[in-house]
Amino acid sequence: MTPGELRRLYLIVRVFLSYGLDELIPKMRLTLPLRFGRRLLFWMPNRHADKPLGERLRLALQELGPVWIKFGQMMSTRRDLFPPQIADQLTLLQDRVAPFDGALARKHIELAMGGPLETWFDDFDQQALASASIAQVHTARLKTTGQEIVLKVIRPDIGPIIKADVRLMYRLAGWVPKLMPDGRRLRPREVVREYEKTLLDELNLLREAANAIQLRRNFDGSPMLYVPEVYSDYCRESVLVMERIYGIPVSDIATLEKQGTNMKLLAERGVQVFFTQVFRDSFFHADMHPGNIFVSYEHPENPCYIGIDCGIVGSLNKDDKRYLAENFIAFFNRDYRKVAELHVDSGWVPRDTNVEDFEFAIRTVCEPIFEKPLEEISFGNVLLNLFNTARRFNMEVQPQLVLLQKTLLYVEGLGRQLYPKLDLWTTAKPFLESWMHDQVGIPAVIRALKEKAPFWAEKLPELPELFYDSLQQHKRLQQSVDKLTNQMQAQRVRQGQSRYLFGVGATLLVSGTILLLGKVEVFPAWLMAAGIVSWVIGWKRTT
């Protein structure tokens, strides 16, 4: 480790011990030296013994700074890994930090743009409109049109901090399989790798700009979701310029109700937006916490969401989407056998899993839940209970589903906050059934033909030539086969003749030998000579 990494590691250890987080070290023989060393070398006492473990973990992550706060936020979605008392506390982590100096923000914007800020913008406000762990936002106007905009600028010192902390996380992840019996199944290095990718993606605002443009195009003209316009000509890797929006924070329930917002429709549209992004577009906003979601002031009776901060997006391949949709529908229909079979078919659990035992375990967990009224059932919690059940059958963590699980929990929590009687099942089931029918029915065949039409239009003029070439190749192949057949037949004839000559030669040699032994002096030499000649001719025919 470098001196800087050692200092950072020392700070992390000190913070963790001051909050008594050594309780997280499993008490087993393998960890005995580590626990003994903590008592012997690190004498720092737990200064927050009056607080529960989950709260202490949250406070420690907050003290360690933005990188660890975001890591805690991501881990808060992994309820298959943490008990509720820890996961609930991690969800309280707020991604709000003190803004850095506005003059420094201006300097970095000008450095990225390559000139004075007034060349492109008017009315730049050095007071940050909002500040987060990765970047902060300032308001201004476009010089050419007067359009109100926001400029998002990356924190100038965040890159080295992220890289140093991620390296330490990798080292800690390497210890997990050695310290925890179930550690390898948790795939800690893959979790850190996914987190690292997410952070590095957020550091490149050109990527966020592209994500926002794609999401805006997907919902162009939709009454459900509006994504602000991105002014890509002004965007740089560390600066994002986009339309300024005005809306009601989705968490401000009082204001939404005061203006007469249709809360039931708003909650249902949140579910519809999620499933549309996942299954129709294969491209979903994966950071839909309340700080990134607003509601338009216009048309409260027909409310429309406004989504910002598209730095984190997710996607699923066709196989994952199909398995996921079939799992959802099987849950809706309480078809636990189907759920078990889908987990095996998808490879989420080992192929040799006993399907009957797995089905029974799922039924045991889910049936008591489904006895409640639908509005009281948390779909997110049903999935988490399923994952916890699947752990007993050696289900490995699926990194490609992490963002999806997180987003689903956000959507359900938000929907229930807006409209406590939200029936997520009734809202989602028709959508999923329609999507499945569209994937396997006649519309799927027609769509596939349309998708392949340009390819076949390009290849159609070549078909006669390809057909002629195939006939020629078939003719040449037939000629080669006939030639080979004739050669094999000739070879068999020669082999038969050779065997005949070998037999004649052997007979003559034996006869000559017998006559010679009988002291007949005239014929033996001629017979033996003829036998040798027959052998030579037979041998030549074989070669």
Task: Round to whole Å and give the CA distance between 318 and 323.
Answer: 9
Which CATH number fits the domain that encloses residue 257? Answer: 1.10.510.10
Query: Could you tell me if 73 and 109 lie in one domain?
Result: no
Q: Is 329 annotated as a binding residue?
A: no
Last residue within a domain, chosen from 75, 94, 113: 94
Query: Could you tell me if 202 and 341 lie in one domain?
Result: no
Query: Could you tell me if 107 and 243 lie in one domain?
Result: yes
The helix/strand/coil state of 260 is coil
pTM to 2 decimal places: 0.70
Task: Round to whole Å and give the CA distance between 526 and 509.
Answer: 10
Query: Are 138 and 110 contacting, i.e. CB atoms less than 8 angstroms apart?
Result: no
Task: Characterise 457 by phi-psi region: left (phi > 0), alpha (psi -120 to 50), beta (else).
Answer: alpha
Task: Round to whole Å and give the CA distance between 218 and 227.
Answer: 10
Catalytic residue among 80, 165, 287, 320: 287
Last residue within a domain, chosen from 311, 330, 358: 311
> Per-residue pLDDT for the chain (543 aa), expressed as one digit of tens each?
667 667 777 788 788 778 877 666 656 554 455 555 555 555 566 677 778 888 888 888 888 877 788 778 767 756 556 677 787 787 777 656 678 899 999 999 999 999 999 999 999 999 999 887 788 999 999 999 999 999 999 988 787 778 888 888 887 777 766 655 555 555 677 778 877 877 888 889 999 999 999 999 999 999 999 999 999 999 999 999 999 999 999 988 999 999 999 999 999 899 889 889 988 888 988 887 777 899 999 999 999 999 998 888 888 888 888 888 888 788 778 888 888 888 888 777 888 888 888 888 888 877 777 766 666 677 666 766 776 777 777 766 565 566 676 777 778 778 888 888 887 777 777 877 777 777 765 665 665 566 666 666 666 676 677 667 777 777 777 777 777 777 777 666 656 656 655 555 556 555 555 555 555 555 555 555 655 655 555 555 555
What's the total number of domains in the chain?
Answer: 4
Q: Is 439 annotated as a binding residue?
A: no
Task: Round to whole Å and give the CA distance between 13 and 84.
Answer: 25
Q: Is 136 annotated as a binding residue?
A: yes
Query: Could you tell me if 66 and 145 lie in one domain?
Result: no
Query: Could you tell me if 304 and 323 lie in one domain?
Result: no
Q: Is 137 annotated as a binding residue?
A: yes
Q: Is 529 annotated as a binding residue?
A: no
Asked if residue 305 is part of any domain, the answer here is: yes
Owning domain of residue 354: 318-442
Q: Is 134 annotated as a binding residue?
A: yes
User: Dihedral of CA 107/108/114/120: which sign?
Assistant: negative
Task: Round to whole Å and give the CA distance between 277 and 270.
Answer: 11
Asked if residue 67 is part of any domain, the answer here is: yes
Last residue within a domain, chosen from 311, 341, 373: 311
The helix/strand/coil state of 83 is coil
Q: Is 457 annotated as a binding residue?
A: no
Query: Could you tell me if 307 and 322 lie in one domain?
Result: no
Query: Could you tell me if 489 and 342 lie in one domain?
Result: no
Query: Could you tell me if 110 and 225 lie in one domain?
Result: yes
Q: Is 287 a catalytic residue?
A: yes
